Amino acid sequence: MLSVATTLICEILKTTVPTPSPQDINLSVQIHDALLDEKITGTALLAAKARVQAVWHLWEAKMKRDEIAELDKKYDDLRAEYGKLEDEAAAVAVQLAARRCEAREWKIMAYKEDWQGIFDEEVDKE
């Protein structure tokens, strides 16, 4: 029985943990390098995402600025047109007031007329 145990111990000692082969070492280095590359790529990706968002914000700000400029121009054009219409309305109001004064004068003169005499048929016969 001792010989069987001795044989087993000898076999265990012969089969110690094998030393890693150069390929195994190279694989672990490759894994380590890949993890570093992934970390660097992730950082670069986050930075690129931040730049894209910044560009998007700049684009949106530009679009809003353009919309505001367009609306400002439209507002200015409408205000100018409104000013012209106000001037035209004032001129028409002056003309209307003048015509009303003239109409009043004619109305006063018409009331002063001798309408009875105008429509008197006997005057026409004479």
7-10-12-14 Cα dihedral, nearest 10 degrees:
-140
What is the pLDDT, as a whole number, of residue 125? 61
What is the pLDDT, as a whole number, of residue 33? 85
* Residues spanned by the domain of 80: 24-114
- Above pLDDT 70, what percent of the chain? 75
Q: What is the largest CA-CA distance in the chain?
A: 177
In DSSP notation, 33-53 reads HHHHHHHHHHHHHHHHHHHHH
pLDDT digits over 2-20, tens only? 566 666 666 666 665 556 5
Q: Specify if 88 maps to a domain.
A: yes
Q: Specify if 16 maps to a domain.
A: no
What is the pLDDT, as a whole number, of residue 15? 60
Q: Specify if 73 maps to a domain.
A: yes
What is the pLDDT, as a whole number, of residue 30? 83
Please state the rounded mean pLDDT for residues 29-54: 90
Q: Specify if 11 maps to a domain.
A: no
pLDDT digits over 77-106, tens only? 999 999 999 999 999 999 999 999 999 999
Structural domains in the chain (count): 1
Q: Specify if 5 maps to a domain.
A: no
Q: Specify if 53 maps to a domain.
A: yes
Q: Specify if 13 maps to a domain.
A: no
Q: Specify if 57 maps to a domain.
A: yes
Please determine, for residue 66, whether its predicted confidence score (pLDDT) is greater than 80: yes
